[in-house]
Amino acid sequence: MNKAIIKLLATATLFAGSMLAPPSTTAADLKAGQKAFDANSCSSCHELSASTIGPSLKDIARRYKGQPVERELAQRIRAGSAGRWGGVPHPAYEGLDEADALIIATWILGGAPR
Ligand code: HEC
């Protein structure tokens, strides 16, 4: 096969892969998500399996399973969110870095592995 065609195919394959995979999540990303979650005291309202003041992380992951909503969730984590789970609102975290919010959302949607 012609070299140019091979290169083109390789590029196309990489591109297709990047569209399918969730925003290129690595084990290090997931670890960073967990750290940022812990560092921002999110666990005072969110536990892994039990709903407390907020929904459990597993319930959140279940509800959005298979949906690419990382960015949406990250936005609601920062802006605050209400009326989706019950009567209590999730407070705004405007000081939380966008990238951190995204990595936390990715970690939660990935089942919040520890
Ligand atoms: C004071 C309690 C509280 C704290 C602290 C808190 N949350 Fe929440 N969170 C809630 C409640 C209550 C809800 C459900 C809101 C609703 O019904 O829409 C929620 C909802 C969520 C959701 C689901 C949003 C959706 O659109 O379905 C995510 C994700 C989330 N919180 C992440 C976090 C993260 C990350 C932090 C830390 C940066 C955090 N929460 C801190 C109470 C809290």
- Kindly tell me the burial class for residue 103, based on how many C-beta atoms sit within 10 Å of its own C-beta (0-12, 13-18, 19 or more): buried
Confidence of residue 18 (pLDDT cuts 50, 70, 90): very low
Which two structure tokens, joined as six digits, stand for 37? Answer: 């979650």
Q: Does residue 83 line the site of ligand 1, with CB under 6 A?
A: yes
pLDDT beyond 60 at 19: no
**42-47, Cβ contacts within 8 angstroms, sequence gap of 24 or more:** 42/104, 45/90
The stretch 35-64 carries a mean pLDDT of: 97
* Residue, of 33 and 21, whose pLDDT is higher: 33
Q: Does residue 103 line the site of ligand 1, with CB under 6 A?
A: no
State the pLDDT at residue 17: 47
Protein residue with its CA nearest to atom 3 in ligand 1: 45
**Neighbour count for residue 33 (Cβ, 10 Å):** 24
Q: Where are the domains of the chain?
A: 25-109
Residue 1 Cα to ligand 1 midpoint, Å, equals 53
Cα distance between residue 94 and residue 114, in whole Å: 26
Which two structure tokens, joined as six digits, stand for 69? Answer: 């909503």
Protein residue with its CA nearest to atom 25 in ligand 1: 73
State the pLDDT at residue 35: 97
Q: Does residue 39 line the site of ligand 1, with CB under 6 A?
A: no
High-pLDDT (> 70) share of the chain, %: 80
Q: What is the pLDDT of residues 58-81, one digit of tens each?
A: 999 999 999 999 999 999 999 999
State the pLDDT at residue 88: 97
Choice among 21-25, 48-52, 56-60, 85-89 with the minimum mean pLDDT: 21-25
Pick from 52, 35, 40, 32: which is nearest to 94 by CA?
40
CB-CB contact of 93 with 101 (8 Å): yes
Positions of E strands within 13-105 = none
Domain at 25-109, CATH homologous superfamily: Cytochrome c-like domain (1.10.760.10)
Pick from 66, 77, 79: which is nearest to 102 by CA?
77
Which of 72, 90, 103, 104 for a ligand 1 pocket mutation test, highest count of atoms within 8 Å of Cβ? Answer: 90
